[in-house]
Structures are given as structure tokens and as C-alpha cells.
């Protein structure tokens, strides 16, 4: 028996508003602009503290540039804040009250900054969301739809497993980050686990670097306490430099009636990647769900579409609103706190 059609995309706003980009880094070049162009979402222009970088982006995509942040903020537009996390607060302060804003994850460097951002957004009446776009990928929208329809039954086991080689050299800024793997990568998985299972009540975690480099953390193991009877774990290794054969990037979600397996193809041979895959079984063999889109750049359409539709009254929920994203930041903070906590000693031999 074939699976029913599952949701894979987010509807576009009926009247798209123009977008102003604040920040012209690699993620804007590789994901934001290709997504907006594909969805025909208009982009007015870009501002960056590095004027040459903004000019290069504008030239490639045929958009305008702004000489100052104040000039960019004066536009009648939706603001896409793609700055480093430590810069988010200053940019948000410069935007007009009542603005509609999408900011790049994470929501600040730590929970203290996330709390300040949340307070600022409330005080200035900003309609603001964080770009946790994994929730909006075709594969994860389909998983969420399958779970909502009860196809898998009650979720009892969730595992995120990454064993691959991430080319961190593509992101020079990470060399100076004191919080790396959890804050800039696995935050996506923690956010999706929250969406799937609700806010965890506790976490055990260890995150660390690797002898082959000096980066802060590139390997993480975590156990999340969510619903009673649910085993929820993450095993993340960005340093498997032994060829493609045994590399892996998967989500496994098991319920009382069925299971789903997601392959995060983008992460294998990044940034070229491999096709994403979704397989589902409801007890009669595995069936592949043919995906109509990938993570990059397509999921970036969904976050902006939801924000614009919510601001226009077309969506009832702002999925990654700052009030929700704060809980993801709280979970990341709990992981770092658990990492610093002592473990239970093992009894020595008598």
C-alpha cells in the first residue's frame, strides 16, 4: 500500500514584499539569493560593512546596494539579517519599530544574547523569526506531516547520526569561535527535535574538538530527555577523514506503527552534496518518498514565505518566531552546561 502524498513545501505569500539583505556573506550568496530568485521574491538590495563584498553580491544578482545601515533600514521592506550572531542586536536596534525581520541562526552567541534579542523584539514590536530552515526542508516537512497523520504511531526512538568530514576551512570565522559545533551546526538538529518532540526537560552532553585541528568543538554526543519512554540521542562527528564509504548523515525516527529514515545529502561532500532522501515504512516494507526539493537553497524559501505570510495574516503561526527560537537557544545552553558538569565516576576495582 502506497503512502499518501505528504507535504513538502510552504505556500508563498500572495503579495510578496521586497526584501533588504543586511549581510553579504557566503550563506547569502549560496542560499538566500538563489532561494529568493527561484521563488520570485523581490530583493531591493544589500548592505554589508564590507562594501566590496556587498558590491560583488549585487553585481552577480542584479540588485542594489546601500551605503549605510541607516539607508538600508529606511527602506519599506522585510529585513533579512544575515550577520554574525554577535552583530544581531546592533542591527535590530537600527531597524524601525514594527519591522518584519528574519535573522540568521543562532539567535545571538549565547542564551544571554538571545534573551536580550527577545526583549528587544518585544519592546520594538518586531515581527521576527530565526532562520531555522531545516524545519522547512521538503524531507522534514514530509516527516512532520507523516507524524501528524499518525502514520508512524507514537514516537518512541529518535537518533541523529553524523559521521563525515566537514570542510570548516570554507568558513574562516569559525577559527575564532569558542562555541562551534552545537551553536553553529547541531543547533539545527536540536531545533527540529524540539519541533518533533517538544521542549526537552533535561540533557546530557559532551562536545569536543579533535587532535587534527585547533577548532573549539567538532564532535558532540547528547542524550535528550523529552517524552516518557522516548530515547532521543545525537552522535555527531565532523572529523571522519577516511573516505566516503562509511560516512553518514541521517535522522532515524521510529514509532509504534512505523519509522522514517532521512538522509541529509547536503552534508555529504559539502557544499556540492548528494540528493536528500526520505524512506518511510508502516510495517509493509520501506517506501522512498520522492523529494521535490533539497535543503539548500529551497528551504530558505519556506522561512521567508512563512514570515511574510504571517505578517500579512495569511499564516496563523510564525513557526520559528523569536519566542520559539529562544527555547532552542536554551537547549544549546543546557548542552554546554552539561558538557561542563562532572560525570558519575565509575567504581574502581576492589
Q: Closest Cα to residue 105, out of 79, 131, 135?
A: 131
Tell me how far apart the alpha carbons of residues 271 and 297 are, in angstroms, rounded to a whole number: 11
Strands 277-281, 19-22: pairing kind = unpaired
Query: What is the reported pLDDT for 196?
Result: 97
Query: What is the reported pLDDT for 265?
Result: 97
Instruction: Supply the DSSP symbol for 95.
Output: S
pLDDT, tens digit, for every residue of 163-172?
A: 999 999 888 8
Instruction: Supply the DSSP symbol for 40.
Output: T
Query: What is the reported pLDDT for 2?
Result: 83
Tell me how far apart the alpha carbons of residues 17 and 255 are, in angstroms, rounded to a whole number: 41
Tell me how far apart the alpha carbons of residues 81 and 58 are, in angstroms, rounded to a whole number: 16
Q: Kindly state the helix (H) or strand (E) to which residue 121 belongs, with its residue range.
A: helix 111-123
List the 231-237 sheet strands across, edge first.
Answer: 202-208, 219-225, 231-237, 155-163, 248-255, 259-263, 277-281, 286-289
Measure CA 323 to chain center. Answer: 16
Q: How confident is the model at residue 1 (pLDDT cuts 50, 70, 90)?
A: low
pLDDT, tens digit, for every residue of 260-292?
A: 999 999 999 998 899 999 999 998 899 999 999
Query: What is the reported pLDDT for 72?
Result: 98
pLDDT, tens digit, for every residue of 285-329?
A: 999 999 999 999 999 999 999 999 999 999 999 999 999 999 999
Counting Cα atoms < 13 Å in the Cβ hemisphere of 37 gives 14
Residue 127 clears pLDDT 70, i.e. is over it: yes
Q: How confident is the model at residue 206 (pLDDT cuts 50, 70, 90)?
A: very high
Q: How confident is the model at residue 60 (pLDDT cuts 50, 70, 90)?
A: very high
Query: What is the reported pLDDT for 34?
Result: 97
In the chain the domains, ranked by start, together with CATH numbers, are: 19-134+300-323 (3.40.50.720), 137-293 (3.30.360.10)
Tell me how far apart the alpha carbons of residues 341 and 206 are, in angstroms, rounded to a whole number: 9
Whether residue 205 is preceded by a cis peptide bond, meaning omega within 30 degrees of 0, is: no
pTM of the model: 0.96
- DSSP three-state, residue 325: helix
Q: Give the pLDDT mean for 129-150.
A: 98
The residues that bridge with 286 in the sheet, in sequence order, are 281
Mean confidence (pLDDT) of the chain:
96
Amino acid at each position: 500500500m502506497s503512502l499518501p502524498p505528504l507535504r513538502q513545501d510552504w505556500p508563498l505569500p500572495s503579495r510578496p514584499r521586497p526584501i533588504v539583505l543586511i549581510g553579504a556573506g557566503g550563506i547569502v550568496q549560496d542560499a538566500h539569493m538563489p532561494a529568493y530568485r527561484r521563488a520570485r521574491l523581490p530583493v531591493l538590495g544589500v548592505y554589508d560593512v564590507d562594501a566590496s563584498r556587498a558590491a560583488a553580491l549585487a553585481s552577480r544578482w542584479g540588485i542594489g546596494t546601500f551605503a549605510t545601515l541607516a539607508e538600508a533600514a529606511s527602506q519599506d521592506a522585510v529585513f533579512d539579517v544575515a550577520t554574525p550572531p554577535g552583530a544581531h542586536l546592533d542591527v535590530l536596534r537600527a531597524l524601525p519599530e514594527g519591522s518584519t525581520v528574519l535573522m540568521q541562526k543562532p539567535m545571538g552567541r549565547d542564551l544571554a544574547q538571545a534573551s536580550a534579542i527577545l526583549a528587544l523584539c518585544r519592546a520594538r514590536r518586531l515581527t521576527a523569526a530565526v532562520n531555522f530552515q531545516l524545519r522547512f526542508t521538503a524531507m522534514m516537512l514530509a516527516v512532520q506531516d507523516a507524524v501528524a497523520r499518525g502514520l508512524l504511531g507514537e514516537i518512541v526512538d529518535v537518533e541523529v547520526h553524523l559521521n563525515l568530514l566537514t570542510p570548516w576551512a570554507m568558513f574562516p570565522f569559525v577559527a575564532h569561535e569558542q562555541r562551534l559545533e552545537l551553536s553553529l551546526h547541531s543547533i539545527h538538529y536540536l531545533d527540529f527535535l524540539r519541533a518533533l518532540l517538544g521542549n526537552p526537560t533535561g540533557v546530557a552532553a559532551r562536545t569536543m574538538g579533535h587532535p587534527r585541528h585547533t577548532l573549539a568543538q567538532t564532535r558532540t554526543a547528547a542524550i535528550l530527555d523529552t517524552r516518557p519512554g522516548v530515547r532521543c540521542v545525537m552522535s555527531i562527528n565532523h572529523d571522519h577523514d577516511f573516505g566516503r564509504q562509511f560516512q553518514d548523515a541521517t535522522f532515524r525516527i521510529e514509532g509504534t506503527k512505523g519509522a522514517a529514515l532521512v538522509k541529509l545529502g547536503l552534508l555529504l561532500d559539502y557544499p556540492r552534496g548528494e540528493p536528500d532522501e526520505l524512506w518511510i515504512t508502516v510495517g509493509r516494507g520501506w517506501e522512498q518518498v520522492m523529494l521535490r526539493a533539497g535543503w539548500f537553497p529551497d528551504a530558505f524559501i519556506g522561512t521567508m514565505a512563512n514570515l511574510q505570510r504571517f505578517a500579512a495574516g495569511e499564516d496563523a503561526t510564525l513557526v520559528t518566531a523569536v519566542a520559539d527560537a529562544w527555547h532552542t537557544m536554551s537547549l544549546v545552553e543546557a548542552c554546554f552546561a552539561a558538557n561542563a558538569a562532572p560525570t558519575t565516576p565509575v567504581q574502581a576495582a576492589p
